[in-house]
Structure 1
Amino acid sequence: MNRIDRLTGMILLLQGQRVITGEQIAEHFEISVRTVYRDLAALGEAGVPIVAEPGVGYSLVRGYHMPPVMFTEDEAAALFMSGEVTEQIADDSLKQALRAALLKVRSVLPQEKRDYLNRLKDAVGVWFRRPDDGVKRESLMPIQDAIVRRLCLSIRYNTANRGALTDRIVEPVGLIFYSRQWHLIAWCRMRFDFRDFRLDRMARWEVLGECFEGHAGFSVKDFLKENIESHELTPATVLIEREALERFRNEMPCTPVSSEVQADGRVKLELLSFSIPWMAEWLLGFGPRVEAVHPPELREKMGEVARAIAERYAEEALV
């Protein structure tokens, strides 16, 4: 990014924040704090009314707004691609808002840039397969709004997907997408602790009028890190044929540690698994293309399940 674009971006960054520190500006543009000070001084000399509060940060004088800035082709293309990706992981509530926002972006573009995006749309696509349970969900935007406004949620939750539904009042503090699912991080009043709730396991939810206090220092990233590290992970070793390797890595529900190509062409993967029984059943979905090597209980469990499947179909063949 050249300096002119950076200075323009710095004004937009200040315009979008009540107050921001020099360190935050430096992190945003990936520059040194010293460069930030020089850029802010240059903007001040150019007549941009920047207010510096010692120990607090920088802001623009209230009422100052920079005229709208036209998107470059790269920026317009980046917004389009972001929209295409978000379409695949969003629910109906977020998709509608996203389409409306992108429509407004398109409306302010000159004709040649609109033509550019139209050609890009015809040439590029994003396809991400997600499980379809047939249930229409419109929860992301309302739950996101509840987090910002600090409103309690009433949920009916299917714990561990076992069919045991429990009614809970939770205080939502974060919403994050990982492991191909949206997760609500919230303080559970039933468990008196923070919990991770998968949105696809919510049989019902409702935003309540009750506001909650506290949790000001809570970090979603720290919670997830501690949650993962607190689980007892079991090391496992599997051998995978090259033809199944890409699918295996795309669908892998466990943590990879290392990989090594073997003399016979297969790839040996070292993994950390939360559940040996669950992993055994998942590995069987790859048929003979995957072999469990370690631990012995993983091999035993796979053999047990495979024999049960074989016996079932053998009985049907005799009927």
Structure 2
Amino acid sequence: MNRIDRLLALILFLQSRRTCTAEAMAEHFGLSVRTIYRDIAALGEAGVPILAEAGVGYSLMKGYLLPPVNFSEQEAYALSTGVMLAQRMTTHSYNEKMQSALDKIKAVLPNEAKHRLELLAKGMATPTTEHPQQADLSVLQQAIARQQLLTFDYQSASQTQSSRAVEAAGLVFYLGRWHLIAWCRLRQAFRDFRTDRIHNVQLQREQFQARTDFNAKDFLQNSTPTAQLSAQISFMPAAADRARREWWQGIADEHQQSEAVVMTLNCTDWGSLACWLLSLGTAARVLAPDQLKQELCRQSQAILRLYCAS
């Protein structure tokens, strides 16, 4: 990125935030803090009204906006891909909003670029598997951004129903589902609500003060159990590829050994690892530890008793 593009990007970055520190800008753009200081000074000399407050950071003077910026063809490609992926991860009403935004971008592209974007759209696809119904994500996002109370009916894993009033803090996507993290007034604590178990959601007029400075990345990091156990397993090549794609608790090491791939897998408990290894059949063989081998024997014997009972 040349300096002119970087200065424009810096203005857009500040325009999208109330305040931002030089350190945060340096991390975002992959630059040194010293370079950010020089760029801020250059923008000031060019007449861009940047305000600085000690201990808070930089901001653009209220009311200062750049004129509308046309999207590049490559940016349109990226957003088109985002719409396609959103179709697999969000609700129908949300997809409509994404498609509407993409249509507005298409409207300002040259005709040749529009044609190439249509060719790209025809050449990309994701599996059309059906996903369970879930709460309207746009309503949940409004509750977070506007700090408005949410009410809904919730169905727990044990199929029990309850009415909840919550103060929404964040939306996180993990284990194939969107989860609403919110302060539950019924339980008087923060709770994790799967959006496919939320029904009859209503956005109330009542507003609330946030109880904590919630950060979705920190939540995911803190809520993920620490994988303190590890096992050494020999995989056939195809099974090793599955391990790289599927084993979410982490692979500490791997190396080639004859025709197999030996991996060290992290895990929180032997039961879940054994259950997953059984799906690989004879394409995976546990080398260590003995506790995992014993767990595999226990689960295998339970399966035999279930299907081979006389």
**1:303 matched to which residue of 2?**
297
Residues 194-249 of structure 1: CA deviation (Å, up to 9, x unaligned):
333333344664444443334233333333323235x5744333332112222232
Residues 153, 171 of structure 1: 8 Å contact kept: yes
Aligned-residue RMSD, C-alpha = 3.1
- Structure 1 residues without counterparts, runs of 5 or longer: none
**1:285 matched to which residue of 2?**
279
**2:240 matched to which residue of 1?**
245
One-letter code of the match for 1:140? L
Structure 1 position 174, deviation (Å): 1.3
Q: Distance in 2 between matches of 1:129 and 1:187?
A: 35
Structure 1 position 147, deviation (Å): 1.4
Residues 154, 207 of structure 1: 8 Å contact kept: yes
**2:256 matched to which residue of 1?**
261
Structure 1 position 101, deviation (Å): 0.7
Residues 111-133 of structure 1: CA deviation (Å, up to 9, x unaligned):
1221221232233x253687x46
Question: Pick from 138, 156, 167: which aligns with 1:171?
Answer: 167
Residues 236-295 of structure 1: CA deviation (Å, up to 9, x unaligned):
3333211222223222243322223333x2223222333433333332222222234444
One-letter code of the match for 1:149? R
**2:113 matched to which residue of 1?**
113
Matching of residues 139-218 of structure 1 within 5 Å? 139-157=136-154, 159=156, 161-165=157-161, 167-202=163-198, 205-218=201-214
**1:127 matched to which residue of 2?**
126
**1:136 matched to which residue of 2?**
133
SS in 2 for 1:261: strand
Structure 1 position 175, deviation (Å): 0.9
Q: Distance in 1 between matches of 2:186 and 2:285?
A: 42
Residues 92, 138 of structure 1: 8 Å contact kept: no
Structure 1 position 144, deviation (Å): 1.6
**1:80 matched to which residue of 2?**
80
**2:92 matched to which residue of 1?**
92
Residues 179, 253 of structure 1: 8 Å contact kept: no
One-letter code of the match for 2:147? R
Q: Distance in 2 between matches of 1:253 and 1:6?
A: 36
Alpha-carbon distance change, 3 to 59 in structure 1, aligned in 2, over 3 angstroms: same
SS in 2 for 1:71: coil
SS in 2 for 1:119: helix
Q: Distance in 1 between matches of 2:193 and 2:276?
A: 22
Structure 1 position 42, deviation (Å): 2.9
One-letter code of the match for 2:150? L
TM-score (norm 1): 0.81
Q: Distance in 2 between matches of 1:34 and 1:53?
A: 17
Alpha-carbon distance change, 199 to 255 in structure 1, aligned in 2, over 3 angstroms: farther
Alpha-carbon distance change, 183 to 291 in structure 1, aligned in 2, over 3 angstroms: farther
Q: Distance in 2 between matches of 1:66 and 1:282?
A: 53
Alpha-carbon distance change, 249 to 163 in structure 1, aligned in 2, over 3 angstroms: farther
Residues 22, 58 of structure 1: 8 Å contact kept: yes
